[in-house]
Amino acid sequence: MKTLDSLALRAEGDRLFVLDQTLLPHEEKWIECREPRDMIQLIQRLAVRGAPLIGVAAALALAQAAEKGASAEALTIAADELREARPTAVNLAAAIDRLKLTLNPFERGRLISEAEAIFIEDVALCEAMADNGASLIADGDQILTHCNTGGLATAGVGTALGAIRRAHEQGKRIHVFVDETRPLLQGARLTAWELSKLGIPHTLICDNMAGALMAQGRVQKVFVGADRIARNGDAANKIGTYGLAVLAHHHGVKFYVVAPQTTFDESCKDGAAIPIEERKAEEVSGRQANQSSAVWNPAFDVTPKKLITAIVSDSRIF
């Protein structure tokens, strides 16, 4: 493999490393992925996360196995297992399906170069989204964001956070409010870490403070990412996104979804067709909740298109 380097993913020859995002912001530890099974676990425990990045990382894990000489049969089994690692982000299935085209007939070199292309293309898609998204951000805007949609979630500058970063680089004086994003705190841990590194002014809030913030007129725009966008424009994203969209609608705040072409799923008619991952109860109950209570822990929700002001993609703004 070519040398590929991003904020949370690195490849060189047949070696592949990921930044363990479960340890951020307190520890920056790189873990070596040696085989597709390692990558499945890294994706499932969210050491590697974010819709575009899990597609890119799974593709590189398959390329690594090809580089190490795995047979077409073994690669097909690994591809199918990687594809199932998480269900909601369509980027994962799309990346694996693209690589599977090189398995029958088997072209080892092409599988590796396609995986490299998926990484390189994601960087370019992020750049285009950042430019398009930043065009919607004005000097002085106060922007609310949810989950993590930056360099940790993609191979490039990110989706929604990429647009925010680009606006800051353009000299626009913006302030970002960061939802902590319960239960796994991608906002408090990851987005806040990225914004601090970039020197972008921001304030952390608990998810349940967004309504009060909007009621005080302190947010003009919401920028979020997506894990899968259905044919009709309904968008699945991190749990809590739908609630924010309802709040934004009520308060007349613009609500933008930023996502690359790899997040659109023509085969899903509408949001109801998007599979929603449900995760372990312990993520919600932790140590503090009453341990004998039942827990519901959907990782994503669907925002209907009528609540979305615009979808910002790499090619254009819909």
Q: Assess 299 for contact with ligand MRU (CB under 6 A).
A: yes
* DSSP for residue 271: G
Q: How many whole angstroms separate alpha carbon 261 and alpha carbon 128?
A: 11
- Name the segment binding ligand MRU (CB under 6 A); options: 50-58, 69-77, 132-140, 167-175: 50-58
Count, residues near ligand MRU per rule CB under 6 A: 18
Residues 6+ apart with CB under 8 A from 109: none
Pair of tokens at residue 88: 């909601």
Cβ proximity to ligand MRU, 70 vs 302, nearer residue: 302
Of 145, 159, 191, 262, the residue at the interface with ligand MRU (CB under 6 A) is 159
- By beta carbon distance, the residue nearest ligand MRU is 225
Q: Assess 187 for contact with ligand MRU (CB under 6 A).
A: no
- Name the segment binding ligand MRU (CB under 6 A); options: 49-57, 107-115, 131-139, 210-218: 49-57
270 is known as an active-site residue:
no
Q: Which of residues 238-257 bind ligand MRU (CB under 6 A)?
A: 238
Of 9, 24, 47, 51, the residue at the interface with ligand MRU (CB under 6 A) is 51
Q: How many whole angstroms separate alpha carbon 86 and alpha carbon 106?
A: 26
Angle at 34 between CA 31 and CA 35, to 5 degrees: 125
Task: State in angstroms the smallest separation of the CB of 216 from ligand MRU.
Answer: 25
Q: Assess 237 for contact with ligand MRU (CB under 6 A).
A: yes
Q: Which one of 227, 234, 301, 314 is the catalytic residue?
A: 227
Task: State in angstroms the smallest separation of the CB of 122 from ligand MRU.
Answer: 10
Contact yes or no for 200/164 (Cβ under 8 A):
yes
Beta strand residue intervals within 57-154, DSSP E:
142-145
Cβ proximity to ligand MRU, 78 vs 89, nearer residue: 89
Q: Assess 87 for contact with ligand MRU (CB under 6 A).
A: no
Task: State in angstroms the smallest separation of the CB of 302 from ligand MRU.
Answer: 12
Q: How many whole angstroms separate alpha carbon 163 and alpha carbon 149?
A: 10
Give me the half-sphere count of Cα atoms (radius 13 Å) on the Cβ side of residue 240.
27
Task: State in angstroms the smallest separation of the CB of 300 from ligand MRU.
Answer: 6
Of 64, 132, 186, 313, the residue at the interface with ligand MRU (CB under 6 A) is 186
Residue 183, Ramachandran bin (φ over 0: left; ψ between -120 and 50: alpha; else beta): alpha
Helix or strand (DSSP H, E) at 65: helix 51-67
Q: How many whole angstroms separate alpha carbon 298 and alpha carbon 48?
A: 18
Of 67, 179, 207, 227, the residue at the interface with ligand MRU (CB under 6 A) is 227
Q: Which of residues 255-294 bind ligand MRU (CB under 6 A)?
A: none
Q: Which of residues 128-157 bind ligand MRU (CB under 6 A)?
A: 147, 149, 153-154
Cβ proximity to ligand MRU, 57 vs 63, nearer residue: 57
Nearest to 237 by CA among 52, 108, 65: 52
Sign of CA dihedral 288, 292, 293, 298: positive
Q: Distance of CA 297 to CAs 208, 220, 282, Å?
A: 17, 30, 9
Q: Assess 121 for contact with ligand MRU (CB under 6 A).
A: no
Supply the residues annotated as catalytic: 227
Query: Given the rule CB under 6 A, which residues bind ligand MRU?
Result: 46, 49-52, 89, 147, 149, 153-154, 159, 186, 225-227, 237-238, 299
